[in-house]
Structure 1
């Protein structure tokens, strides 16, 4: 990052213009980046996704709250825009009203880039006139794409096109398609380092701890979008695992097996998925099938055998002592 050079220039500038110190803060991230905020018109879910050549960009740029909205604050980032923007939406203001109020009191508005999307799909976006070229944004139907310090000016139009062309995909995969298009079009002039994806419910539920549907971050990686896509696939696989567990609770073994197999198909080398599938089979008196799965698992990682011996005590493995011994004796 060019942080040292920036700070030297800003220190020199401060001798001439003291007020500039309020615009450029050494404690705020210089998150020059590209991002998207979007609302799914079918589900109402809200998403914000971002990639940057900056460490842990998701801790600075992306903000969201179920039933309220999402915010992307970037360039010379004013992190307070995230929480304050959501608070303004929650108070009843529209996305544009919230953005206008935030910018009105910000001396650094010319170097800010921010986009706010409310739960109704209204979006407001600002690109300051002093954001580093190439910089710009494009607003579409219930979404906005924004970018600064890009290699060229084709980045954000490419994002918008990719998002609109992938409307059949789930929201999370759709916004990742937009990020991929940005990178393919040139992306950040400095390269890439981190990425993040946040999806929240369009309507808050009675269980707010479940309202953040997806929250994935890649803090430092040579190919952050590739890693973010892998994490999203892993998230989807564990959704199948959870569905399998629910089917077991309902004693619907065919459905449980379908869900477990779907998860394992997505990540065939994941021992966690294979293991709990096997334990479920054992609990449902399908010991031969369980043994066939557990043998290779134990050979690859012996600690799973140790864990198995502890499960009966807490009721997670309900088999006879003889059957347990048969499992633990696997070679």
Structure 2
């Protein structure tokens, strides 16, 4: 029933354009009326796209990016293909504007599209179709663009741009989130809020995509998606410390490992995983009494951590004497 109403509404709103419904709306191309930002950090070369909408799982439709290539936001009556096709055009040597022009030229639904692209050189291109639902608009700045449609007020793009420019000292991920917060404070989506996403890629490709997506977070359904997205970013930062701690363990740099685990633990003091590996590192550094103080409360909360501890010596992750191991496993 909802799909019939959407198609019916599209016919009324867009007349002849909507008659070619396959070009404007299909079940695989959601109506991601929303606000978003695409940006490149001139200091690091990193590129980001961030978005919030009153639509389920907006990050699977709007946000696209590739290290060393660029980022794309495709929204309003979304044409998902603009994401991968836009990146492919950039990769072939097109500028952001050339890529956008080519995408729109072949799209009969261009009047209901909203698209923004930033390429790896920081060049920006933005399109807001003349039949995007009010309030709709865009604003470009140095190496960034903000865009919005179906907003409560017309002030959203200007508020986003102002917040982004004011956050120049922040890491790129935190900076684009500040722009989203400003959009919501200015009224945001007239329908409310449901989902959000944040993607940050490297300025240059490295050994593979598994290393090139620096941040890739989505909130698919939430009453406060930006609040949850910021919490996830903070958790992501904490686990960056955990990963750095693991790397230090591999290099047998125990003081560095402890420092990294402690940094993560300070950010999320109730996280048992962070407490646990901090304790195991202490034990491996012959600081068993300090490790026991941490392990006892962990074991009381979840006995599975004790079972895991029994398995660590076999793979060399717990290098204590048999007597010390017995003492650790008896921690209460």
State the SS of the aligned residue for 2:116.
strand
Matched with 1:39 is: 40
- Given that residues 61 and 74 in structure 1 are in contact (C-alpha distance below 8 angstroms), is that contact kept between their aligned partners in structure 2? yes
Q: Relative to structure 1, is the Cα distance of residues 285 and 151 closer, same or farther in structure 2, using a 3 angstrom cutoff?
A: same
What is the CA-CA distance between 1:23 and the residue it aligns to?
Answer: 1.9
Matched with 2:242 is: 241
State the SS of the aligned residue for 1:190.
coil
Matched with 2:301 is: 300
- Given that residues 13 and 20 in structure 1 are in contact (C-alpha distance below 8 angstroms), is that contact kept between their aligned partners in structure 2? no
- Given that residues 164 and 178 in structure 2 are in contact (C-alpha distance below 8 angstroms), is that contact kept between their aligned partners in structure 1? yes
What is the CA-CA distance between 1:21 and the residue it aligns to?
Answer: 4.2
State the SS of the aligned residue for 1:87.
helix
Q: Does 1:9 align with 2:9?
A: yes
Q: Relative to structure 1, is the Cα distance of residues 52 and 15 closer, same or farther in structure 2, using a 3 angstrom cutoff?
A: closer
In 2, Cα distance between the equivalents of 1:107 and 1:165?
Answer: 38
Deviation per residue, 1:67-98 (Å, 9 max, x gap)? 00000000000000000000000000000000
Unmatched 5+ stretches in structure 2: none
Q: Does 1:156 align with 2:184?
A: no
Deviation per residue, 1:273-322 (Å, 9 max, x gap)? 00011111111211111111100101111111111111112221121221
- Residue pairs, 1:1-331, within 5 angstroms: 4-10=4-10, 18-331=19-332
Deviation per residue, 1:144-198 (Å, 9 max, x gap)? 0000000010011000000000000000000000000000000000000000000
State the SS of the aligned residue for 2:39.
strand
What is the CA-CA distance between 1:14 and the residue it aligns to?
Answer: 10
State the SS of the aligned residue for 1:330.
coil
In 1, Cα distance between the equivalents of 2:208 and 2:25?
Answer: 39
- Given that residues 7 and 26 in structure 1 are in contact (C-alpha distance below 8 angstroms), is that contact kept between their aligned partners in structure 2? no
Deviation per residue, 1:90-130 (Å, 9 max, x gap)? 00000000000000010000000000110000010000000
In 2, Cα distance between the equivalents of 1:311 and 1:56?
Answer: 39
In 2, Cα distance between the equivalents of 1:148 and 1:2?
Answer: 21
What is the CA-CA distance between 1:24 and the residue it aligns to?
Answer: 2.2
In 2, Cα distance between the equivalents of 1:109 and 1:326?
Answer: 69
Deviation per residue, 1:24-75 (Å, 9 max, x gap)? 2233100000000000000000000000000000000000000000000000
State the SS of the aligned residue for 1:34.
strand
Over aligned residue pairs, what C-alpha RMSD do you find?
A: 1.8
- Given that residues 14 and 21 in structure 1 are in contact (C-alpha distance below 8 angstroms), is that contact kept between their aligned partners in structure 2? no
What is the CA-CA distance between 1:12 and the residue it aligns to?
Answer: 7.6
Unmatched 5+ stretches in structure 1: none
In 1, Cα distance between the equivalents of 2:134 and 2:26?
Answer: 20
- Given that residues 14 and 20 in structure 1 are in contact (C-alpha distance below 8 angstroms), is that contact kept between their aligned partners in structure 2? no
In 1, Cα distance between the equivalents of 2:23 and 2:96?
Answer: 25
In 1, Cα distance between the equivalents of 2:21 and 2:311?
Answer: 62
What is the CA-CA distance between 1:246 and the residue it aligns to?
Answer: 2.3
Count residues in correspondence: 331
In 2, Cα distance between the equivalents of 1:89 and 1:12?
Answer: 36
Q: Relative to structure 1, is the Cα distance of residues 3 and 36 closer, same or farther in structure 2, using a 3 angstrom cutoff?
A: farther
- Given that residues 10 and 21 in structure 1 are in contact (C-alpha distance below 8 angstroms), is that contact kept between their aligned partners in structure 2? no
In 2, Cα distance between the equivalents of 1:328 and 1:23?
Answer: 62
In 2, Cα distance between the equivalents of 1:61 and 1:151?
Answer: 20
Report the TM-score, using the length of structure 2 for normalisation.
Answer: 0.96
